[in-house]
Amino acid sequence: MPRHRPGNGTSTAADFLTRCFARDETIALLVRRESPNKTFQRIATLEHALAPRYLGWLAHENSIGANIYVAANPLRSGSRKRTKECIGAVRHLYLDLDTDGEARLASLLLSHAVPTPTAVLSTSLGKYQILWRVDGFTVEQQESTLKLLAFGFGGDPACTDCNRVLRLPGFLNCKYDPPYPVTVRYRNDFTWNPSDFRLDTPAANPMFLSNTMPPRPHPDKDSNSERDWAWVLRELVRGKDPAKLTRSLASRRADKPRPLYYAQRTVDVASARLWLSEGVPIDDVVTMLIVRRRFEIPPALCSARAREIAQTVQRMIARRKIA
Reported as a single tens digit per residue, the pLDDT across 262-300 is: 999 999 999 999 998 888 999 999 999 999 999 888 887
The confidence score (pLDDT) of residue 213 equals: 31
Strand partners, 133: 92
Q: CA–CA separation, 323 vs 320, rounded Å?
A: 5
Considering only residues 317 and 208, tell me which one the structure prediction assigns the higher pLDDT.
317
Distance between CA atoms of residues 2 and 125, nearest Å? 10
Nearest to 130 by CA among 85, 82, 84, 184: 184
> In the predicted model, what is the mean pLDDT of residues 172-195?
93
Give the burial class of 127: count Cβ atoms within 10 A of its Cβ; 0-12 exposed, 13-18 middle, 19 or more buried. Answer: buried
Residue 214: name the closest of 268, 275, 272, 274 by CA: 274
Looking at residue 215, its pLDDT comes to: 37
pLDDT of the residue at 161: 86
pLDDT confidence of residue 72: 95
216: confidence class by pLDDT, cuts 50, 70, 90: very low
Q: Does position 6 have pLDDT exceeding 90, yes or no?
A: no
The pLDDT of residue 214 is 35
Handedness of CA 299, 303, 304, 305 (dihedral sign): positive
pLDDT at residue number 37: 84
- Tens of pLDDT, residue by residue over 87-143, are 999 999 999 998 888 888 888 888 888 999 999 999 999 999 999 999 999 998 898
> What is residue 212's predicted lDDT score, i.e. its pLDDT?
32
Q: What is the pLDDT of residue 291?
A: 92
Dist CA 177 CA 218 (whole Å) = 57
- Average pLDDT of the segment spanning 259-264: 90
pLDDT at position 321: 57
pLDDT band per the 50, 70, 90 thresholds, residue 200 = low
pLDDT at 122: 96
Q: What is the pLDDT of residues 141-178, one digit of tens each?
A: 898 888 888 877 888 877 888 899 999 999 999 998 89
Q: Contact 59/6 with Cβ under 8 angstroms?
A: yes
Alpha-carbon 237 to chain mean position? 22
pLDDT at 202 over 70: no
Per-residue pLDDT of 23-62, as tens digits, reads: 889 999 999 987 778 999 999 999 999 999 999 999 999 9
Q: Is 242 exposed, middle or buried (0-12, 13-18, 19+ CB in 10 A)?
A: buried
- Residue 316 is predicted with a pLDDT of 78
